[in-house]
Structure 1
Amino acid sequence: MIRAARLAAARVGGAAAAAAAARAPGAALYRAARHYTPHGPPDSSEKETIVKLLYNIGSKKEVEQYLRHFSSVESQKFAVIKVGGAVISDDLATLASALTFLNRVGLYPIVVHGAGPQLNKRLEAAGIEARYEDGIRITDGPTLAIAREVFASENRKLVEALERLGTRARPITGGVFVADYLNRDKYDRVGKIVHVNREVVESSIRAGCLPILTSLAETPDGQILNVNADIAAGELARVLEPLKIVYLNEKNGLYHGATGKLIETIHLDEEYEGLLKEPWVRYGTKLKLKEIKELLDTLPRSSSVAIISAEHLHKELFTHSGSGTLIMRGHRLFGEQDLARVDSDRLRALLMEHDPQIASGEMSAASYWQALAALKQAGGAYWIYGDEPYQLAAVVMRRPGQPIAVLDKFVASRAAVLGNITDNAWKLIVRDHKQLVWSVPRTDDNLPWHFERADGSWAAGDSILFWYGVEDWKQISDLVSVKASGAAAAASAPAAPSGARAYSTAARRPAARRGYSTSAARSFRVGLIGARGYTGRELIRLINEHPSLELAYVSSRELAGKPVPGYTKSSLDHVSLGAQEVGAIARAGRGDVDVWVLALPNGVAAPFVAAIDSETASLPAEQQPVIVDLSADYRFDTSGRWSYGLPELHRREMLQRGTGRIANPGCYATGSQLGIAPLLPFMDVGRLPSVFGVSGYSGAGTTPSPKNDPAFLADNLIPYAPVGHIHEREIGRSLTRVAAPAHPFDASSPVHVQFTPHVAPFFQGIGLTIHVPLRMSMTVSDIFGAFQSFYQRERLVHVTRAAPLVKDNAGKHYAVVGGFAVPAADGSAGTGTDSLAARRVVLNVTLDNLLKGAATQAVQNMNVALGLDELTGIPVQDEPDMSLAK
């Protein structure tokens, strides 16, 4: 199961959750942006690299969608960015890097900056008192003289910072804003903008330079006037009508005066009047909202205002979720329980364009309306949600006597997605329904959006089941039966649509045997490169028993020409395929070979991957073969193309990134991570966990050596690689990226482990003893409960109180975690409840190195990549019978 943020935070407690919430997503990227130092004009490869970096803060779909959106308009209509003087003085490097990132992907933000703090400092040094009236700076002659110097100086700082990064920028300190006196008697030389000379800005962009403007204006006869930078940015926006108006501040948005929480989105048409009635909305906050409302009322409805920090600018511009506060006009939303009260023609048009069922003709809109009516007649209920222009629609159903509602449809146009109307609709839906369940195809482009809003999910077959507000798993599995679907679930509904989406959960009950349907419309063909080793043999056996996989090629130089033993689906001989031959086969695309499995030694896979890539790069993504690499060659990939294939910990990342390239984890690394991951929120970051690992000699491969010589191993235990083993780095890197929002680790503070492997005289299996330092004292029951909660939906991880034994787990497809122990809190020396020695846990993990540590995991990853149920073809045994666990 993919654990959502809400459940993870509940597991570890409020303090840790709050600390995690304070860390912004994508922090590693933002820190990298601070030190981004390009040289010279951007080329296509550099632009591609930057776009890949953006993928780290949002899905590929989101980033590409926004890039297309932004680049579809004239350059000067991308964004007007107002920069406060404090940002220039305190965060200049971050600001310059953020603007450079935008420019390197072909965008031209227009920057209008202020210099308030700097001006106050200079006035104080000159002995001039800063005076204000109605919040407006009174600007006399001496003040204006210093203001001109300060504005020019700050403008020059920003331009020079950009040019040091290779970004062409043009300082514009005048000639854009034409003004008249706002009130000469009251404010002296303060201006009210009456005209904007856009040609000055546009000529800068035509020359390939970012325009950097001060907010000083001139009268028609040449008198310089001071203008508030917010007002100047707004007037510029009224003339250029950009997609985005961005106000950069150090707070990263607007905050709710009562709760103290960041306000993520404000849809003015829906929320403005209510906001103004809030007791905390007053003074500067009220003025800011009124100014933004007046601005957006004059702009196209597609325009929006973002209040954000420079550090988070990328996330705000390139992801649906954003980071600061996004303000837009939006549209009023509605929620109706009677189809007669909605515009059925416009709703029909939206569904016919965006709903797969109705768009494909699988079901007509008329039959769906009929099914809704039948549901209501049977004692159920339905709700239809949407916005005024019908850019979005959602249908929620509740069956007779059922407490949990079903989100049956949620469709949105591109404009609704880009305008964050989806988020506002979601707020309305969950306000009305405290519990929801819904299903989404694995191929849905917006899966990340659903994951972010769900409390939990379960992947099976071609779809993913999500739920919100539901804590009891039995409620979910009982709610929806194998054949139940949307309106079809209405009791005895005679007109129920036969093709409505199915929420099959019958096989997902934790205590039941697997029982999912593994039938598929076609068999997927697998090319196995490197079949001589033990893992290759296990893979052949598993594929032979898999209902949806078949072997197309089995390559082994030593065995070429010999029959493939144990494979009964067809008569198949070993072949010897080099990288060139594999590339030639891959050129045909999916069909001849759907999945290439590389079961090769470390350092050998790259030529095969390169050959496949070169021959398939021009093919559509859905025709390109999947690659699963069992070596360590791509476990440390930074290109963004490879997923780390440990679904129990990285399933969400795999689905978000795409699963065309999967790096299968190492066997020791798999067991170690499964033993440490649930404890990440409780770990003492100042001390290192340690892993003592013992493997059977099958882990040493088939090439003769003392580590796989039974005679040498008899009555023996061989330690090797006592420091610096590659799994040590792999464990730490993967655990750092585990998607548990309440642990204290990230790229700037990664997980490090100590790991020492050994070889024992048994053939297969791994036993691990893991010591984990804790930041607080915990009981065995606390720890056992944390592991049970973490793995409660994982069929290939069993949790037991007893210490698992290697011999009990050899030949099994699951890992076992147990044997939890903590020092006795008896007050004796070194073991008191407050001592470092007491704040630790020792536990044991066992798994079969050839199965869950290699072949079983590879099949699990192939299933995910091919859209099959994750456990298809994997014999799933019940919980092992360990008497000590009872």
Structure 2
Amino acid sequence: MILTNLRKATTALVPQTLATSQMLKSTLAKSSTHSFKLQHNRVYSTRSTVIQLLNNIGSKREVEQYLNYFTSVSQQQFAVIKVGGAIITQQLPELASCLAFLYHVGLYPIVLHGTGPQINELLEAEGVEPDYSDGIRITDEKTMSVVRKCFLEQNLKLVTALEKMGVHARPITAGVFGAEYLDKEKYKLVGNVTSVNKAPVEASIAAGALPILTSLAETPSGQILNVNADVAAGELARVFEPLKIVYLNEKGGIINGNTGEKVSVINLDEEYEDLMKESWVKYGTKLKIKEIKELLMHLPRSSSVAIIDVNDLQKELFTDSGAGTLIRRGYKLITRSSLGEFQQPDLLRNALNRDQDISSGKTSVASYLKKLESENFKAYGDEPLEVLAIILEDEATSVPKVDRFLASKTGWLNNVTDNIFTSIKKDFPALQWVVREDDPNTAWYFSKSEGSYAKNGHILFWYGLKSADAVSELIASFAQKVSLVKPAESKVFKSSQQARSFSTARRFYSTNPNPPIKEGKNHQKSKVALIGARGYTGQNLIAMIDKHPYLELSHVSSRELQGQKLQGYNKADIVYSNLQIEDIKKLEIDGKVDVWVMALPNGVCKPFVDAIDSVKNGKSKIIDLSADYRFDTTGEWVYGLPELNDRTKIASATKISNPGCYATAAQVAIKPLTEYISGTPSIFGVSGYSGAGTKPSIKNDPVFLSDNLIPYSLTDHVHEKEISSQLGVEVAFMPHVAQWFQGITHTISIPLNKKLTSRDIRNIYQERYSGEQLITISGEAPLVKDISGKHGVVVGAFAVNSKQDRVVIVATIDNLLKGASTQCLQNINLAMNYDEYAGIPDDLVIRG
């Protein structure tokens, strides 16, 4: 049954790439034919593998590119992965799962692990102080006995974990590394690798088993010597010359000892000498960087080493964005402001030939160069111009624009594009660029932008714009260039401080048993910490807190944006941090945060909540925007939909689960009729693609969505369960994604147990929601374009069939506002005893 469902999921979710489909079929085939005794573990492993694949692939282009790349060589040349000893102790399930992922898609990395922390623990237990010199462990006979024991134990532990997940793995604890003494007097039983025997590794892969190696070496006479695992991994890479060299460690990269931040990229040709002089580069870090440099000097210049967290392995291997610290020889970056500064004109011409207009014959290199002679431009590139970017001033908007961004396949694969873009961003605090919708690198451009707008086959991207007016001006200029038709007014960027218009329909006496709390007693400032601030919801909440009379941001945490300045917030200068569990616990102990907002993906926030809970005298409130606690049965969490739930309970709660966007609109649209429902209401929901988040996928790909509608998760969707559990009525929910950016529409068919007219039903709704600022009742069917950018729910249509036993209701909601951030702010206001609508514009328009 699981395999059948997986096949269905595979067909539905990844039809866009044949390579991915074949890979998943291969996974399923292996699951069907392997005859392991641990059937449950095997099936669970396969299912986990497929889910990881679907969650980590960035785009069609990336999948096809990297699969072709990895399968272009023999299996033993795919990757060498060095695993830090702490990973086996602390993250063994994650490590085994990641390696199982690769195994089940037919990739066989050579895995070599260390065991440093385990050795230190055993030595200290025996009263022996670990001794190092220049980052190398001094290994006497007593230490060697512990080293050998630890290596064998950890190797067996990893192999066993893999076998339990249906992965055929082979322990290789000897016979690979030949060595001589590094310095017998100084280091004792420490080896200098003199040879690598490939045969055991090749035999393991040929037999369909992952080779799991230790870094123990042997002299010609059979003496076992200890070799630093980083050094051993480097020697393996020299012999096999793999496409990828990955070091997994518990820090997820190299940490700058002065700033505490993760080093993203190290270009050795440009940075090595200065880097080795840094005070924090010492001991194991210094040895690691030195060994990696010596390794890369013997490999093709395109080779690189990635030092990452185990959870980022798929991201590093299968996406352009990568993870952790990337170390490469690289080239020095160049900047030019005139054509005469290019010392090799042929390289410039070759780079320009990558431009689509030039390669298609629409224009020529000479014509473009002549144009540049009269422009005030700045060009960025690497020395061989594998990547070339040209920035021009834009007189129409005063926002500099990327006139050309041209990268070779090598430039993309080796992340030179990231390096160039980082250099550009240092010089240009605001920037715009336009890309064709069919550009295969669209997902990468999305990742570099803060906003986008698509029209007539082109996408406008930008970052660094300080106001909505600047965005509107940019969009208007772009629309004028790509079309003769005047662009429609954007409701998303229109000022939200507009007057509310009311219909002339008579008002009804309120039957609302749960009226809004409009007079808050608290007028003190409160500090809000936002965990997971990168997504659309986080950005909207930041903008609303910026205008809130009492709320202030104290921290915004985002791993991907760590170290960058928070844009769109004017109350204080705040820099994105990457708060860890201990950081959160300390902030709670010190009382630095009044409200924690968890804007994280489903299944992620529990460790953060547990850290806050562990502080006995903590006084903060928690709002969780994910689905993790919407089905809580412990009584610790209150479901935060103020219009339908007891507001006094929300106000007194310390933990509030924010409802889902689809679920909010559906519940508001169905709740007043629950006593009249005779069967199962059917909900046909359609969301704009912002609902699919910022991680690139077919569900937020404007090209794939153009003239398209994507159905997904048509049964048992988490919102179907949420709506049913909260209403006490089983519903059928069918979600879809459309080509607009934000806004949701529901068309809901409700069977009735009593004959009711359209007027009867509309009266029920007007009476039930009288006094609710964020709910509007309309006689007409509401439209998405009228709700986009607005802070509430509009319910209307109330179309009753001729038998008067079924009504169809239409509800609209902005998924980023009342569907997420606005509702979150409502819950914060209630929890902190403010006016419920403080900081929330009264901007709904009632259409009579």
For the aligned pair, the TM-score class normalised by the smaller chain equals 0.5 to 0.7
Match of 1:288 in 2: 288
Query: Structure 2 regions of 5+ residues with no counterpart?
Result: 1-29, 37-42, 495-640, 646-650, 697-715, 730-747, 776-783, 801-807, 819-826
SS at match of 2:758: coil
Contact 2:654 2:831 in 1 (8 A): no
Contact 2:472 2:493 in 1 (8 A): no
List aligned pairs for 1:433-512, cutoff 5 A.
433-478=428-473, 502=482, 507=487, 509-510=489-490
Distance in structure 2 (CA, Å) of the matches to 1:189 and 1:118: 18
Deviation at 1:269, TM superposition (A): 2.6
Contact 1:47 1:105 in 2 (8 A): no
Label 1:74 to 1:694 Cα distance change in 2 as closer, same or farther (>3 A): closer
Match of 1:592 in 2: none
SS at match of 2:285: helix
Match of 1:109 in 2: 109
Deviation at 1:130, TM superposition (A): 3.4
Deviation at 1:722, TM superposition (A): 9.7
Deviation at 1:76, TM superposition (A): 1.6
Contact 2:465 2:471 in 1 (8 A): yes
SS at match of 1:475: helix
Deviation at 1:295, TM superposition (A): 1.9
Label 1:801 to 1:79 Cα distance change in 2 as closer, same or farther (>3 A): closer
AA at the equivalent of 1:54: L
Deviation at 1:121, TM superposition (A): 3.2
Distance in structure 1 (CA, Å) of the matches to 2:763 and 2:265: 50
AA at the equivalent of 1:458: Y
Deviation at 1:191, TM superposition (A): 0.9
List aligned pairs for 1:92-241, cutoff 5 A.
92-126=92-126, 128-241=128-241
Distance in structure 1 (CA, Å) of the matches to 2:170 and 2:793: 68
Distance in structure 1 (CA, Å) of the matches to 2:240 and 2:99: 19
User: CA-to-partner distance for each residue in 1:648-706, whole Å, 9 max, x for gaps?
Assistant: xxxxxxxxxxxxxxxxxxxxxxxx99999xxxxx998634648586999xx9xxxxxxx
Contact 1:455 1:468 in 2 (8 A): yes
Match of 1:303 in 2: 303
Distance in structure 2 (CA, Å) of the matches to 1:770 and 1:384: 64
List aligned pairs for 1:481-880, cutoff 5 A.
502=482, 507=487, 509-510=489-490, 686-687=656-657, 689=659, 691=664, 719=675, 727=683, 738-739=693-694, 752=722, 754-755=726-727, 761-762=757-758, 795-797=785-787, 806=796, 815=812
Distance in structure 2 (CA, Å) of the matches to 1:308 and 1:748: 33
Query: Structure 1 regions of 5+ residues with no counterpart?
Result: 1-36, 486-500, 515-671, 677-681, 700-706, 708-715, 742-746, 773-778, 785-793, 821-830, 847-878
Contact 1:63 1:318 in 2 (8 A): yes
SS at match of 2:192: strand
Match of 1:54 in 2: 53
Label 1:430 to 1:722 Cα distance change in 2 as closer, same or farther (>3 A): farther
Distance in structure 1 (CA, Å) of the matches to 2:418 and 2:360: 27
Contact 2:479 2:486 in 1 (8 A): no
Deviation at 1:290, TM superposition (A): 2.6
Distance in structure 1 (CA, Å) of the matches to 2:166 and 2:471: 55
Contact 1:245 1:306 in 2 (8 A): yes
Contact 1:688 1:752 in 2 (8 A): no
AA at the equivalent of 1:761: T
Distance in structure 1 (CA, Å) of the matches to 2:477 and 2:396: 18
Contact 2:455 2:482 in 1 (8 A): no
AA at the equivalent of 2:363: M
Distance in structure 2 (CA, Å) of the matches to 1:226 and 1:281: 24
Distance in structure 1 (CA, Å) of the matches to 2:768 and 2:117: 52
SS at match of 2:149: helix
Distance in structure 2 (CA, Å) of the matches to 1:734 and 1:400: 32
* Higher RCO (CA < 8 A, seq sep 6+): 1
Contact 2:491 2:789 in 1 (8 A): no
Distance in structure 1 (CA, Å) of the matches to 2:328 and 2:71: 20
Label 1:122 to 1:103 Cα distance change in 2 as closer, same or farther (>3 A): same
List aligned pairs for 1:15-34, cutoff 5 A.
none
Contact 1:482 1:504 in 2 (8 A): no
AA at the equivalent of 1:224: I
| Matching residue within 361, 382, 387 for 1:387 | 382
User: CA-to-partner distance for each residue in 1:413-460, whole Å, 9 max, x for gaps?
Assistant: 111111000000001111121211111111121111111111111111
Contact 2:665 2:812 in 1 (8 A): no
Contact 2:338 2:373 in 1 (8 A): no
Label 1:799 to 1:112 Cα distance change in 2 as closer, same or farther (>3 A): closer
Distance in structure 1 (CA, Å) of the matches to 2:299 and 2:247: 16
Match of 1:78 in 2: 78
Deviation at 1:312, TM superposition (A): 1.8
Contact 1:769 1:844 in 2 (8 A): no
Deviation at 1:475, TM superposition (A): 3.2
Label 1:692 to 1:246 Cα distance change in 2 as closer, same or farther (>3 A): closer
Contact 1:171 1:213 in 2 (8 A): yes
User: CA-to-partner distance for each residue in 1:177-204, whole Å, 9 max, x for gaps?
Assistant: 1111111112211111111112232222
Distance in structure 2 (CA, Å) of the matches to 1:440 and 1:215: 48
Label 1:402 to 1:502 Cα distance change in 2 as closer, same or farther (>3 A): same
Count, aligned residues:
583
Residue 245 in structure 1 maps to residue 245 in structure 2: yes
AA at the equivalent of 1:797: I
Residue 417 in structure 1 maps to residue 412 in structure 2: yes
Contact 2:797 2:809 in 1 (8 A): no
Deviation at 1:280, TM superposition (A): 4.2
Contact 2:46 2:104 in 1 (8 A): yes
Distance in structure 1 (CA, Å) of the matches to 2:322 and 2:414: 11
Contact 1:178 1:217 in 2 (8 A): yes
Distance in structure 1 (CA, Å) of the matches to 2:35 and 2:694: 33
**TM-score, normalization: structure 1?**
0.56
Label 1:453 to 1:673 Cα distance change in 2 as closer, same or farther (>3 A): farther
Deviation at 1:406, TM superposition (A): 1.0
Label 1:98 to 1:430 Cα distance change in 2 as closer, same or farther (>3 A): same
279-288 or 245-254, which moves further after superposition?
279-288
SS at match of 1:507: coil
Deviation at 1:231, TM superposition (A): 1.1
Contact 1:358 1:365 in 2 (8 A): yes
Distance in structure 2 (CA, Å) of the matches to 1:453 and 1:691: 32
Contact 1:351 1:358 in 2 (8 A): yes
Distance in structure 2 (CA, Å) of the matches to 1:186 and 1:453: 50
Deviation at 1:398, TM superposition (A): 0.8
Label 1:817 to 1:307 Cα distance change in 2 as closer, same or farther (>3 A): closer
Deviation at 1:119, TM superposition (A): 2.3
AA at the equivalent of 1:316: E
Distance in structure 2 (CA, Å) of the matches to 1:336 and 1:42: 62
Label 1:410 to 1:838 Cα distance change in 2 as closer, same or farther (>3 A): same
User: CA-to-partner distance for each residue in 1:502-559, whole Å, 9 max, x for gaps?
Assistant: 5989515537999xxxxxxxxxxxxxxxxxxxxxxxxxxxxxxxxxxxxxxxxxxxxx
Residue 348 in structure 1 maps to residue 352 in structure 2: no
Identical columns (%)? 42
Label 1:334 to 1:766 Cα distance change in 2 as closer, same or farther (>3 A): farther
User: CA-to-partner distance for each residue in 1:847-876, whole Å, 9 max, x for gaps?
Assistant: xxxxxxxxxxxxxxxxxxxxxxxxxxxxxx
